[in-house]
């Protein structure tokens, strides 16, 4: 069975989220740089790098960046943007040597996509193993509490979709499902008669911290947005910086 994240992260996704741009990525990377130091020879993993906007920003600050992603379309975009190493694969089976990265980042809710918590645990476990001793992992996630409060049953929006930049009518519907554990977004490209689904596990900050702890990572800093906002119930993001013990 094809999973939702194998279908959705193609050109349509890219066209629908134009505001998630390089400026946004630069802010995220600046925030990380304020907490984590690395030197030019250090390896940095951008896990689920998408179109490479963070990988490009990290590379500009020095470090040998590797972008990892499942989507061929995203990796093609990343290649247009940056010369960093790019590897295609599934984050549930990372192909990297133990202890080989000084820093790993997973940004803009690129986690929580699987049905079982065991799969998520496996991902974090492998990331932790890929970090050198004293290495850091930055997880930038949705704020589950805020999502639960703000989900509207039917939200219609007009967006630009498609590879040729023409406008197409998009209907987005969000709901909480599967026993309250996931936020499920249905994206319908009406002109094309196509539908996609996005399904993300609603992990609270404490649950994320516990997942990290399970793999020997402890949280050393936390933020509620890329500008360094405090983490709280109304914060747009949950950004955890964890260190390998």
Ligand X SMILES: C[S@@+](CC[C@H](N)C(=O)[O-])C[C@H]1O[C@@H](n2cnc3c(N)ncnc32)[C@H](O)[C@@H]1O
Q: Which residues of the shown chain bind ligand X in the complex (CB under 6 A)?
A: 5, 9, 20, 48-51, 53, 69-71, 74, 90-91, 107-110, 113
User: Distance between terminal CA atoms of the chain?
Assistant: 38
Please return the burial class of 218, using the count of CB atoms within 10 Å of its CB with bins 0-12, 13-18 and 19+. Answer: exposed
DSSP bridge partners of 237: 142
Pick 138 or 209: Cβ nearer ligand X: 138
DSSP letter at 226? T
The whole-angstrom separation of Cα 222 and Cα 205 is 9
Pick 39 or 80: Cβ nearer ligand X: 80
Pick 5 or 38: Cβ nearer ligand X: 5
| Closest distance to ligand X from the beta carbon of 69 (Å) | 5
| Closest distance to ligand X from the beta carbon of 106 (Å) | 7
∠ Cα 217 219 222 (to 5°): 145
Pick 22 or 42: Cβ nearer ligand X: 22
| Closest distance to ligand X from the beta carbon of 223 (Å) | 16
| Closest distance to ligand X from the beta carbon of 58 (Å) | 11
| Closest distance to ligand X from the beta carbon of 87 (Å) | 10
Residue with the two structure tokens 């026993």: 179
Pick 41 or 225: Cβ nearer ligand X: 225
Residue with the two structure tokens 């094809």: 2
Question: Which residue's beta carbon is nearest to the bound ligand X?
Answer: 50
Pick 67 or 135: Cβ nearer ligand X: 67
| Closest distance to ligand X from the beta carbon of 2 (Å) | 12
E strand or H helix at 245: none
Q: What are phi and psi of 181, to 5 degrees?
A: -90, -20
∠ Cα 202 207 213 (to 5°): 140
From the list 33, 31, 29, the residue with the least C-alpha distance to 46 is 29
| Closest distance to ligand X from the beta carbon of 53 (Å) | 5
Please check whether residue 107 is in contact with residue 34, taking contact to mean a CB–CB distance below 8 angstroms. Answer: no
Pick 113 or 137: Cβ nearer ligand X: 113
Residue with the two structure tokens 């990892």: 68
């Amino acid at each position: 069975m094809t999973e939702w994240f194998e279908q959705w992260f193609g050109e349509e996704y890219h066209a629908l989220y134009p505001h998630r741009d390089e400026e946004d990525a630069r802010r995220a990377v600046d925030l990380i740089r304020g907490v984590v130091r690395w030197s030019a020879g250090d390896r940095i993993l951008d896990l689920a790098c998408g179109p490479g906007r963070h990988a490009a920003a990290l590379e500009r600050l020095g470090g040998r960046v590797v972008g990892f992603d499942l989507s061929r379309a995203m990796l093609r975009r990343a290649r247009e943007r940056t010369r960093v190493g790019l590897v295609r694969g599934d984050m549930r089976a990372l192909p990297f040597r133990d202890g080989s990265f000084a820093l790993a980042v997973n940004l803009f809710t690129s986690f929580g996509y699987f049905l079982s918590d065991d799969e998520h645990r496996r991902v974090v476990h492998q990331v932790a193993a890929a970090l050198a001793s004293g290495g850091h992992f930055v997880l930038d996630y949705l704020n589950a509490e805020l999502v639960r409060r703000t989900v509207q049953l039917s939200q219609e929006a007009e967006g630009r979709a498609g590879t040729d930049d023409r406008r197409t009518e998009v209907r987005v519907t969000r709901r909480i499902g599967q026993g309250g554990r996931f936020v499920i977004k249905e994206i319908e490209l009406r002109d094309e008669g196509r539908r996609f689904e996005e399904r993300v596990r609603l992990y609270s900050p404490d649950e994320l911290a516990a997942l990290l702890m399970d793999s020997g990572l402890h949280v050393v800093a936390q933020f509620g947005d890329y500008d360094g906002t405090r983490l709280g119930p109304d914060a747009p993001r949950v950004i955890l910086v964890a260190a390998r013990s």
